Amino acid sequence: MAEKHTSSSPKTYKLGELFCGPGGIALGAHNAANKVPGIKIEHAWANDYDPTTADTYRENTPGASEETVYVGDVRELDTDALPPIDGFAFGFPCNDFSLVGKQKGLEGKYGPLYTYGIHVLKSHKPEWFVAENVGGLSGANAGTAFPYILREMQRAGYTVVAHKYRFEEYGLPQARHRIIIVGLHNDLIASGKEFKVPKPTTPEPSMMRTAKQALTEPPIPEWATNNELTRQSEVVKQRLAYIKPGENAFNATDMPEELRLNVRGAKLSQIYKRLDPNKPAYTVTGSGGGGTHIYHWEEPRALTNRERARLQTFPDWYKFIGNKENVRRQIGMAVPPDGAQVIFEALFNTLMENDYDGIEPNIDVDKRIRELEKKEGTLF
């Protein structure tokens, strides 16, 4: 359990992470701890399968080192042997739950990896956890994968609150919609703690932070890393000249026939899509080939990795390690630090018994589990 604290010392939580990515969750947790008096976060350990992603995490996360950030397949990691933790975070791989993919869910290669997070809950028994995944998780395996995972979390000894967050409604300059699950150990629930979904701060379009504001207010400083331009072919430049802000390669009405893409059955609206400077950006992903970069609303080019990082709310001092393609993937797969901070501030206020504005979760956990149990025996 977390260190005991007095009025003069903060309550310290040692944080462990699986699938840590470049450190968006960790940064959000540390920033939230700085906002909530009486809370301190210490890095305990983390894991990611990609060496350069782990390097980025170590470069930017206080206390992270070669000894505490483990690189490799989580299936080969002895989580029981890891040091004790008080808090746990895991953004388990979304490949098999994403709406962009085939949604194989628990039957896919990556779907079952959530079980390693469940094992940590059972063996380490942290006081709380935060889990993140794409909105497509809710519908995977004909809608049964999600409640199955929720039930496993409950059986591990936690009361869980699940909510699909629209991060543009919380001040982020990006329409990024993610399911966040917050779990409190039942011992905390017995002591009267109850997590509430934090109330949106920018719920109306007129209040939302725009892509242009994110990239230009203030301008990116010259010392910022990862800001190299991507080369664009002349054909791409010509194509972009006919695409207006907010349009893509398929709905640009003025584009000449010779520049149009002949992609049978193409439905992805992000191919050669320009940002709308007056709206939050569309979702930043790890893609980049085939016109799936994010494109500037005015200039004939793709965004730099630093610009993409700004849309993901990483500060300019945050240094990403790796080549340009690897960094682009890291940024796109990351949890936005400002989004994570929203969740952790609410969590820490809950732990400190501070009041804050909350809303009803848009996912009824108990109802989803009851619906699953009616179908039990047919899909699992």
| pLDDT at 166 > cutoff 90 | yes
- Asked if 177 and 167 count as a contact pair (C-beta separation under 8 A), the reply is yes
Class for domain 11-204+335-375, per CATH?
alpha beta
| pLDDT at 97 > cutoff 70 | no
Distance CA 250, CA 126 (A): 49
Q: What is the pLDDT of residue 268?
A: 57
Q: What is the pLDDT of residue 265?
A: 57
- Cα 139 from chain centroid? 18
- The predicted-structure confidence for 1-46, as pLDDT tens digits, reads as follows 554 444 568 899 999 999 999 999 999 999 999 999 999 999 999 9
pTM of this structure: 0.91
94 is catalytic: yes
- For the chain, what are the domain ranges? 11-204+335-375
Name the catalytic one among 27, 54, 94, 134.
94
- The predicted-structure confidence for 254-298, as pLDDT tens digits, reads as follows 899 889 887 665 555 788 999 999 999 999 998 877 788 899 999
- Asked if 303 and 293 count as a contact pair (C-beta separation under 8 A), the reply is yes
Of 47-51, 114-118, 129-133, 285-289, the least confident: 285-289
Average pLDDT, the chain: 89
Provide the percentage of residues in the chain whose pLDDT is more than 90: 76
Distant-in-sequence, close-in-space partners of 355: CB < 8 Å, separation ≥ 6: 349
- The predicted-structure confidence for 227-257, as pLDDT tens digits, reads as follows 999 889 999 999 999 999 999 988 888 899 8
- Higher-confidence residue: 254 or 341? 341
Q: What is the pLDDT of residue 379?
A: 45
Task: List b or e across 337-371, with b for residues whose CB sees 16 or more CB atoms inside 10 angstroms.
Answer: bbbbbbbbbbbbbbbeeeeeebeebebebeebbee
Other C-beta atoms lying within 10 Å of the C-beta of residue 298: 12
Distance CA 221, CA 337 (A): 20
- The predicted-structure confidence for 206-220, as pLDDT tens digits, reads as follows 999 999 999 999 999
Distance CA 226, CA 307 (A): 9
Q: How many helices (H) and strands (E) does the chain have?
A: 12, 9
Distance CA 246, CA 29 (A): 33
Q: What is the pLDDT of residue 101?
A: 44
Q: What is the pLDDT of residue 177?
A: 93
At residue 339's C-alpha, the angle toward residues 338 and 342, to 5°, is: 90
Q: What is the pLDDT of residue 302?
A: 94
| pLDDT at 355 > cutoff 60 | yes
How much is the average pLDDT of 61-67?
Answer: 98
- Asked if 368 and 131 count as a contact pair (C-beta separation under 8 A), the reply is no
Q: What is the pLDDT of residue 107?
A: 44
